[in-house]
Amino acid sequence: MNPLLEMVLRFLLATALGAGIGYQRERAGKTAGLRTHMLVSCGAALFTLASIYGFGGAGVDVSRVAAGVVVGVGFIGGGVIFRGARGEEVAGLTTAATIWVTAAIGLAAGAGMYLLSLIATAIIVGGLLLPKIRG
């Protein structure tokens, strides 16, 4: 397949999958919705594609990009976690986790792992649709 077409398909898949997770979060009334998740997935895919196709032949360890994405996304995810006024309740953990896993899906799609990224997205959206279990 043409490398340019391959890159575009990987990027579009990452965009669609990130948007799918973000759509669910937006429908659930969460602060990080469609645009945030789509951007995280697109960014992760773009970093992956740039490292594979832009620097892959230059003796660069392209796997290092994943570590950089994880650190950057951890910073974003940490920003959505907060404590209640009394410090007893913690909110935003699921949203932070979806941002984190959306970056992983973007990395996988950018690396050409089409089936894995599709299955992961289906499992994640399915899990998000499950009702909370209160103890």
Q: Would residue 134 count as lying in a domain?
A: no
Q: What pLDDT, on a 0 to 100 scale, did the predictor assign at position 91?
A: 82
Does residue 18 register a pLDDT over 70? yes
Q: Would residue 18 count as lying in a domain?
A: yes
Q: Would residue 40 count as lying in a domain?
A: yes
pTM score of the predicted model = 0.89
Q: Would residue 59 count as lying in a domain?
A: yes
Q: What pLDDT, on a 0 to 100 scale, did the predictor assign at position 13?
A: 98
Does residue 29 register a pLDDT over 90? yes
Q: Would residue 97 count as lying in a domain?
A: yes
Distance CA 106, CA 124 (A): 14
> What would the two tokens of residue 28 be?
């659930």
Residue range 36-57: mean pLDDT, rounded:
90
What are phi and psi for residue 81, nearest 5 degrees?
-95, 130
**Inter-axis angle of helices 114-129 and 3-27, nearest 10:** 0
Confidence of residue 127 (pLDDT cuts 50, 70, 90): very high
Q: What pLDDT, on a 0 to 100 scale, did the predictor assign at position 78?
A: 82
Q: Would residue 62 count as lying in a domain?
A: yes
pLDDT in tens, 55-109: 766 666 778 888 889 888 988 888 888 766 666 677 888 999 999 999 999 999 9
Does residue 49 register a pLDDT over 90? yes
As a whole-number percent, the residues of the chain with pLDDT over 90 amount to 61
Q: Would residue 135 count as lying in a domain?
A: no
Distance CA 120, CA 135 (A): 28
Residue range 109-120: mean pLDDT, rounded:
97
- In the chain, the number of structural domains is 1
Q: Would residue 61 count as lying in a domain?
A: yes
Q: Which domain holds residue 107?
A: 3-129
